[in-house]
Amino acid sequence: MYLWDITATLRTLVANLEDSARLVCVTTVKAAVLLVNGNGPTMAKSQLTDKHLKALQSSPQCTSVIEAISIPNSDLSLYCDVSTGHQRPIVPLEWRRVVFNSLHDLSHPGIRAAQKLLTTRYVWPGINADVRRWARICISCQRAKIHKHTTTPHSSFSVPDSR
């Protein structure tokens, strides 16, 4: 069974719960998905020393709503942006390339698709510029890219006299 099968099944189960139970269950499910990936506790430890997260928290211009989401079976909390209605972890500097590679290497989408894929799931300052830069230097993407579409020029061909 794949991770997306588990999440789809859990979403179906959560949809049948009452509002208060649904909120607790959704938070637990999302934290569990992070733990399945194995990045939850180690990313939470990295967030404690991340300068960019501290700058986001103290910035008056920040439009993000940052909450600490507790990780089940751990005393750590993962800081997430909840302003969009979804919990998007704030990725520390040393985890950004790892997160990009884990999603980008699945299918090598284009720049815009990779930006959308990452910005709907994660948050960090300058995410769009980083994704654009890393997608442009991806060797697999460069090999598969079509640089020039060639077309055959219109011309007349002489009819042969015989075979």
For 134-157, the pLDDT digits (tens) are: 999 999 888 887 777 777 778 887
| pLDDT at residue 9, as a whole number | 55
Report which of 92, 121, 90, 94 is spatially closest to residue 106, judged by C-alpha positions: 121
Q: Give the Cα separation of 128 and 138 in Å (integer).
A: 15
pTM equals: 0.65
Residue 91 in any domain: the answer is yes
Reference 115, options 127, 106, 125; nearest CA is 127
- 116: tokens are 């959308």
Average pLDDT, the chain: 78
Q: Is residue 90 classed as helix, strand or coil in its secondary structure? A: strand
Asked if residue 153 is part of any domain, the answer here is no
pLDDT per residue as tens digits for the range 60-103: 777 778 888 888 887 888 889 898 888 999 999 999 999 999 99
Kindly state whether residue 58 falls inside one of the protein's structural domains: yes
List the domain range (segments joined by +) for residue 114: 38-144
Count: domains in the chain: 1
Per cent of the chain over pLDDT 70 is 75
Please indicate, yes or no, if residue 127 is contained in any of the structural domains. Answer: yes
Residue 15 lies in a domain: no
Per the listing, tokens 């750590």 go with: 76
Write the CATH number for 87: 1.10.340.70
